[in-house]
Amino acid sequence: MTVAGYHIRLQRRTNLPGWKAALFSILAILFGLFLFSLIFWQAGQSPREIYKQIFGYAFFNSYGLRLTINRFIFLAFASYAFIIPYRAGLWNIGMPGQLYLGALAAFGVVYLLGGKTGEMTASQPVVITLMVLAALLAGALIGGIAGFLKGKWNVNEIVVTMMLNFIAFNLVAFMIKDGGPFMNLGGRGESFELPEAARAPLIAGFPYTLILVILLMIAIYLLFARMSLGYQIRAFGKNPPAARYAGVNPFWISVLVFLLGGALAGLAGYHYFAAVPGVYKIARTYGYFGDLSFYGMICGLISLGNPIATLFVALLFGGLSIGGRSAQGKLHLGFGVDYALMGMLMISLVAFQFFYHYQILITKQATPATARQYE
């Protein structure tokens, strides 16, 4: 294509430096936010006002910040759950199902210890450790199904994890509604409330799961940057036949990444229903948290699977969705602006994928020697 004496051409990239990748990701987010602001504009609100409102509530209001941090922890777990299989080239969109099961298992521990009706004999540390282990295990098991099927028979993991989401969704309904074992006798289709001893301890007002998020970030970073296992996962993700040739076991990698991913999503479920102050039960609207976990996919994709970058993105998105909800109420916007935000961010992210793969070369005509690159 030639414009005003300049020759414009697309060229496939062979190399993308890290800072450029980060730049494109930031641009993708900004573009997504721009698209999002069109909604306010269409609703007759000034985007500037709204963003002031959203960020002000999410990050500079002590109550809002608390909500933001809680959501951030949730999104961070969900993002990790997506990232680990993603680095192996596999798609885990089963975070909802995995987190439902994680929550159910954690509540199951309390139920078995008699915490639904009376006081438990076990001490708080024991109960909480058991709850976390149960959540990890349950998430890993349902995630592992997809990994096993993928590794054994190459069954499409996207469809399988999605189907498992619906199955787990109905399983939760079965447990907490219509006289299910976890049903809150006084409630309207929600689970029993956790007794004091089963509630997660707070550190400076935040659930201790925040520390888990940081520790996991370090662990996942080390896994991919330094460890042999992480190397095998990455090799498998980039070129499965080459990884197999090098002795990597495709079956075990598939199973393992889904076990790990599922376990972390299970932790997300544990966090929201058993560690966030003021919740401590599987709410009637648990499906909403399943949907929210898809933000984890966006965080993982936009940070290109980097666990450190993911945390910043998760914090931002956590704030945006909390602030968005608050703005929605105050400014009488339609329900579900956080869903709209999710859609906008995702489509912007996809559009920006282009820049990861191509560069635009602009050359002044007739003098090829002065070729300059613009991106």
Partner 1 sequence: MPRTRDAEPIELHGDIWKHIQPGEVILDARGITKRYPGGVLANDHIDFKIRAGEIHAILGENGAGKTTLMSILFGLLQPDEGEIYVRGLKVNFRSPEDAIKMGIGMVHQHRKLVPAHTVLENILLGHPKSRGVINVKEAEEEIEAIAQRYGFRVDPRARVWQLTEGEKQVVEIVKALYRGAKILILDEPTSALTPVETERLLESIETMTQEALGVVPFITHKLPMVLAISDQVTILRRGRVVDRLETAKATEQILAQKMVGRPVIFDLQKPDVTPGKPVIQVENLSARNNKGVIALKNASFTVREGEILGVAGVAGNGQHELAETLMGLRPAEGGRILFEGQDITHRSILDRWKLGLGYTPAERTEVGSIGDFTLVENVAMNYYFDKRYNHAGFLDYGGLRQLTEQIIEDFDVATPGPDVKIQTLSGGNLQKIILGRVLSRQPKLVIANLPAQGLDVGATEFVQRKLLEARSNQAAVILISEDLDEILSLSDWIAPMYEGEIVDIIPAAEARKDLIGAMIAGLHREN
Partner 2 sequence: MLAFLIRSLEAAMIFTFAGLGELVDQRSGVLNVGLEGIMLFGATLGFIAAQTTGSYLVGFLVGIGIGALLGLLHGFFSITLGVDQVVSGMGIWIFGFGMTTYIGNPYTGPLGLERLPTWFGISPFFFLAIIMVAVVWFLLNKTGWGLSIRSVGEQPSVAEVSGLKVARIRYLCVIFGGVMAGFAGAVYGLYYNPVWNYNFLMGWGFISLALVFFSMWNPYLLFGGAVLFGLLWQLSLNPQMFFPGLASRYIWRMVPFAMTILVLILISSKWFRSRWGATTPEALGKPYYKE
Q: Which of partner 1, partner 2, none has residue 342 at its interface (CB below 5 to 8 Å by kind)? A: partner 2
In angstroms, give the least distance from the CB of 241 to partner 1: 5
Answer whether 103's CB lies under 8 Å from 273's CB.
yes
> For partner 2, which is the closer residue by CB, 105 or 216?
105
> Which whole-number Å values give the CA distances from 5 to 11, 49, 369, 375, in the listed order?
19, 43, 15, 19
Q: Which of 98, 232, 306, 328 binds partner 1 (CB under 8 A)?
A: 232
Position of tokens 């941090």? 69
Q: Which of 39, 220, 257, 265 binds partner 2 (CB under 8 A)?
A: 39
Structure tokens, 48: 């500037």
> For partner 1, which is the closer residue by CB, 88 or 135?
88
In angstroms, give the least distance from the CB of 227 to partner 2: 26
> Which whole-number Å values give the CA distances from 189 to 92, 164, 167, 277, in the listed order?
29, 22, 18, 20
Of 11-19, 45-53, 280-288, 331-339, the segment contacting partner 1 by CB under 8 A is 11-19
The SS3 assignment for 9 reads strand
In angstroms, give the least distance from the CB of 259 to partner 1: 17
> For partner 1, which is the closer residue by CB, 38 or 227?
227
* Site residue total, partner 2 (CB under 8 A): 49
Whole-angstrom Cα distance, residue 105 to residue 95? 15
Q: Is residue 245 involved in binding partner 1 (CB under 8 A)? A: yes
Per DSSP bridges, beta strands 202-203 and 6-12 are unpaired
In angstroms, give the least distance from the CB of 185 to partner 1: 49
Q: Is residue 6 involved in binding partner 1 (CB under 8 A)? A: no
Whole-angstrom Cα distance, residue 293 to residue 319? 14
Q: Is residue 316 involved in binding partner 2 (CB under 8 A)? A: no
Q: Which of 171, 217, 229, 361 binds partner 2 (CB under 8 A)?
A: 171
User: Buried b vs exposed e over 37-52: b needs ≥16 C-beta within 10 Å?
Assistant: bebbeeeebeeeebbe
Answer whether 137's CB lies under 8 Å from 70's CB.
no
Of 100-108, 243-251, 253-261, 330-338, the segment contacting partner 1 by CB under 8 A is 243-251
CB count in 10 Å sphere of residue 161: 29
Name the site residues for partner 1 (rule: CB under 8 A): 2, 7, 11, 14-15, 222, 226-229, 231-232, 234-235, 238-239, 241-249, 361, 365
